[in-house]
Amino acid sequence: MEGDIAEMGKFIGAGLATIGLGGAGIGVGHIAGNFLAGALRNPSAAPGQMATLFVGIAFAEALGIFSFLIALLLMFAV
């Protein structure tokens, strides 16, 4: 075993940051599921809301991306 304890902490921290992925998954799944539920009830209104769907997914995903950013910062910047 080489390296020091700070190096180890970096890897553990980067690994822990991937937990944020789960939150983004829940958020995106929630939006897509609710969209599908609504779209099946009123299929004629669904195509008009596609843009809103993608914007909503993008905003939910952004918070998951911040955890990726933290992992990147820990690995390469700290």
Partner 1 sequence: MSEEASTGFQIHPMDQFIVKPLFGGDHIAWYTVTNVTMWMAIAVLVIAALLMLGTRRRAIVPSRSQSVAELLYGFIYNMVEEVTGHDGVKYFPYVMTLFLFVLFSNLLGLLPMAFTTTSHVAVTVVLALMVFLGVTVLGFARKGVGFLGMFWVSSAPLAIRPILALIEIISYFVRPVSHSIRLAGNMMAGHAVVKVIAGFATLVVASPVVIGAVAALYGLELLVAVVQAYVFTILTCVYLRDAVGDAQH
Residue 28 binds partner 1 (CB under 8 A):
no
Query: Across the chain, where does the E strand assignment appear?
Result: none
Options 12, 16, 26, 65; binder of partner 1; rule CB under 8 A:
65
Residue 46 has a CB neighbour count (10 Å cut-off) of: 15
Options 19, 57, 74, 78; binder of partner 1; rule CB under 8 A:
57
Least spacing, CB of residue 32 vs partner 1, in Å: 12
Residue 45 binds partner 1 (CB under 8 A):
no
Residue 36 or 62: which CB sits closer to partner 1? 62
Task: Determine whether 2 is exposed, middle or buried from the number of CB atoms within 10 Å of its CB (0-12, 13-18, 19+).
Answer: exposed
